[in-house]
Structure 1
Amino acid sequence: MKTFATLALASAALLAGCAAPGQPDTAAPQPVSVQTALPGLTAPTGEPGLPSLHEAHPKPGQAIQAAGPFDDRFEIEGLAFDGKDVKGTIRITSDVSDLLELQVLAGFYDADGTLLGTARFEHHLDESEGHQHAGPPSEVEEFSIAAPAAAGNAVSAAVGVPVLVNE
């Protein structure tokens, strides 16, 4: 019985500090300190890259897919390089939702498979049109990436996706 009384007294003391239901809390909010910089961590600069472009060595005439962080969320169809442009279609497979941001990074290579240069294709959702839910969401994006002037002797290409954001 003594244990029950002690427990009841402790519970009453805890509840005494709580405001009654429907009563506003009159205590002033306390400022919160938030750390916005982490020592030793620098903010990224520039565009995202794909280390796999440096490891790819496509054979002359080839257009191949380079590994990237989102490979399990899309498929590339119709990938081809004509000596000037690498083209293909990205089909989102992870879910059916609007494509918000997409970046396709292409590497261009000489006859020995040496990376000569890179270029990118970017898709940004046009938010001025608002969200259009009347029709099916866009899940396919065609891309074409021209070889940069520095890759004038390019005979092959590799593409990967460093940025993919969908709803």
Structure 2
Amino acid sequence: METAATLPVATGARRTPRTNKIPPGRVRVEEGPFTDRVEIEALTISDDARPVVRGRIRNSVDVSELIVLELQADFYDARGTFIGTGLQVFLDSHAGAGDDPLSFAIRSPVPVSRGASAILTIPQLANE
């Protein structure tokens, strides 16, 4: 059974950068302790009033199934100023290496003018 929840909260010990130099309309994946265990594909950010980071993520290394997968998107306006954080958590997704990817959509918690960008992180990943 797959459970996904989108929550506009900040978590983890990572310090969210208050500014960035990512070009508008782009998403950067921040390297961390779990980024080498997954493959992220079709990563985009919408140009809506409340932008959404979308993509697919696949468990690429671990044979055991995912128990918890947490994705965090820090959103920035066109000038690179931090505007908020969105979070999506998958619980008991049963996604093992070689399985179909999980689709995700993380919405900005607040409206922003056109040209937003984002930094995607993986604060938590746990296998059986």
TM tier relative to shorter chain: 0.7 to 0.9
Query: What code does the residue aligned with 1:147 have?
Result: S
2:59 maps to 1:92: yes
**Distance of 2:57 and 2:90 partners within structure 1:** 11
Larger Cα-atom Rg: 1
Which of 65, 78, 98 does residue 29 from structure 2 map onto? 65
Q: What is the aligned-residue RMSD (CA, Å)? A: 2.4
List alignment gaps of at least 5 residues for structure 1: 1-45
From the two aligned structures, give the one with the greater helix fraction: 1
Per-residue displacement from partner, 1:9-29 (whole Å, max 9, x unpaired)?
xxxxxxxxxxxxxxxxxxxxx
**What does residue range 10-159 of structure 1 map to in structure 2 within 5 Å?**
47-51=11-15, 53-54=16-17, 56-83=20-47, 84-125=51-92, 138=99, 140-149=101-110, 151-153=111-113, 155-159=116-120
Q: CA deviation at 1:139?
A: 6.1
* Contact 1:57–1:109 (Cα < 8 Å) also in 2: no
List alignment gaps of at least 5 residues for structure 2: 1-9
SS in 2 for 1:72: helix
Query: What code does the residue aligned with 1:106 have?
Result: A
**Distance of 1:49 and 1:57 partners within structure 2:** 22
* Residues matched between the structures, number: 112
* Contact 1:89–1:143 (Cα < 8 Å) also in 2: yes
Runs of 4+ in 1 over 3 A off after TM superposition: 136-139
**Distance of 2:99 and 2:35 partners within structure 1:** 18
TM-score (norm 2): 0.74
**Distance of 2:77 and 2:117 partners within structure 1:** 7
- Could you say which structure has the greater relative contact order, defined with CA pairs below 8 angstroms and 6 or more residues apart? 2
From the two aligned structures, give the one with the greater strand fraction: 2
TM-score (norm 1): 0.59
Query: What code does the residue aligned with 1:120 have?
Result: L
Per-residue displacement from partner, 1:111-138 (whole Å, max 9, x unpaired)?
1212111010000117xxxx8xxxx885
Q: CA deviation at 1:48?
A: 1.5
* Contact 1:99–1:139 (Cα < 8 Å) also in 2: no
Distance 1:94 1:139, change over 3 A: farther
